[in-house]
Structure 1
Amino acid sequence: MIWAAGALLGSSGAVKGASDDHSAGVPLANVSPSNPPPTGRLAQHGSPSSSASSPSPTPSVAPTSSSSPPPPPPPPPPQPCPDTVTQVTATVGAPSYPVGSRPVFTLHITNTGPLACTRDVSHQFRSLVVVAAGTTAPVWSSGDCYSLVTHEVPLLQPGQVVSYSVDWAGRTSAKGCPGSRTVVPPGQYALIGQLGSLTSGPTPFAMTPK
């Protein structure tokens, strides 16, 4: 009996220790396998995804030039006005004056060209001349008794006019301004303007009796 019981106990313990049948429904949580699967090592040595391991390189953009073109060169300085674009005219303050009064004469210089230019209009180059109607002999000239020397070279814009006026004493004159000067008699006269070699047309006026 005792042997039989011991044999029976030993037989059941052997069966329990030797049992490894997963299909019997016995949980195997306490069983430690001798060679566990290297799960961590597989993650390290596996083929990494290109999207996960390194980002795509950003394409470089060549810098564009933002510099502006150089400014144009400055215009050249204005040139002297040629005679072809310089107009000289002479005007009288009134069509007639009584003898003994002081007529007002004006010389006008105009740039008739399309560009700004300079012109030497210094006192020694300009003059107003009175002649008797129908003659060319001077009765009076603004340069005879006024030998002033100046330096006047204005910049004249297109269409710009510079003017110079003088009061005439109504007497004759000659170069060098001699002492004997006489009052002009009544009659018809003309005023002529001059600038260097340029001469205006005659502007008529009359000296009338008092």
Structure 2
Amino acid sequence: MLHPVGPLPAAVYWRRRLLVLVLLLAVLGGGGWVGVALLGGRDGDAAAAEATATSTAAQPPALDRVVPSLASVQTPTPTPTAAPSPSEPSPPEQEAGAPCSDDVLALEVRSPGSVPAGSQPVLELVVTNTAAVPCTRVLDQELQEIVLLDGSGARLWGSNDCFPEQSDDTRTLAPGEQVVFPLTWGGLTSEPTCTAERVPVGPGQYVLRARLDTETSPDAALQVT
């Protein structure tokens, strides 16, 4: 091996061996570099993929960056407030001994509730002083009136239409005192001039309303059968 034998000079055989050795080293070196490059590329790809995944996981989604999490939003707890206790309305002011104002007078019309057609029921006008002090009021008969209305609000009868009365009646009403004025209705229709024909009021549901000068009463139901 170290001493080549052949017809050619020994230098020729040494150059051939050297060339083969160089080629072998070149082949081995090139393969090694290819393997290193392949391994390096795989490791680089894996490292890049891992870095991308880490960056993606570390950064919040775009919606989370704009809209805060509901868990981090604190809703203020409403403070319960106590309901105000209802207070009774204060009674209207009234000067003792002065004329009773409409605010301190309670007006009411009382009826039998149900009467036969053509009958002559007795109705009552009731005046009450609701003030805590006595006061005076003019209760003249020409200032008193009771009217009858039908279901649509049309006026059918008035106590002052055909038989108006007059009186001079000024009274001092004690606190809580009631004054009752009875009045008989003849069961017929009427109008303020008392010139129209008067006819019996037929069966049905009606309303009575009283008046004392400028003060009016709540309505009271009257059924004619």
Same fold (TM over 0.5): yes
How far off is 1:180 after superposition?
Answer: 1.5
Q: Of 170, 190, 200, which residue of structure 1 is paired with 2:207?
A: 190
Larger % of helix: which? 2
How far off is 1:148 after superposition?
Answer: 1.9
After superposition, the CA RMSD in angstroms is 1.5
Q: Which residue of 2 aligns with 1:78?
A: 97
2:217 counterpart of 1:200 = yes
SS of equivalent residue, structure 1 residue 124? helix
How far off is 1:141 after superposition?
Answer: 0.5
How far off is 1:121 after superposition?
Answer: 1.0
Higher RCO, 1 vs 2 (CA within 8 Å, ≥6 residues apart): 1
Distance 2:123 2:96 in 1: 34
Identity %: 33
How far off is 1:171 after superposition?
Answer: 0.4
Q: Which residue of 1 aligns with 2:9?
A: none
Q: Which residue of 2 aligns with 1:113?
A: 131
Q: Which residue of 1 aligns with 2:190?
A: 173
Q: Which residue of 2 aligns with 1:91?
A: 110
Aligned residue pair count:
131
Distance 2:173 2:131 in 1: 10
Q: Which residue of 1 aligns with 2:148?
A: 130
Distance 1:136 1:126 in 2: 20
Amino acid at match of 1:78: G
How far off is 1:131 after superposition?
Answer: 0.6
Unaligned residue ranges in structure 2 (runs of 5+):
1-94
Amino acid at match of 2:105: T
Q: Which residue of 2 aligns with 1:146?
A: 163
* TM-score normalised over the length of structure 1: 0.60
How far off is 1:185 after superposition?
Answer: 0.8
Unaligned residue ranges in structure 1 (runs of 5+):
1-75
Distance 2:221 2:204 in 1: 11
Distance 2:159 2:171 in 1: 21
How far off is 1:77 after superposition?
Answer: 7.7
Distance 2:213 2:153 in 1: 17
How far off is 1:138 after superposition?
Answer: 1.4
Q: Which residue of 2 aligns with 1:38?
A: none
Amino acid at match of 1:168: W
Per-residue CA deviation, residues 155-190 of structure 1 (Å, 9 max, x unaligned), is 100000111111111100111222620011110011
Distance 2:195 2:180 in 1: 28
Per-residue CA deviation, residues 8-49 of structure 1 (Å, 9 max, x unaligned), is xxxxxxxxxxxxxxxxxxxxxxxxxxxxxxxxxxxxxxxxxx
Q: Which residue of 2 aligns with 1:67?
A: none
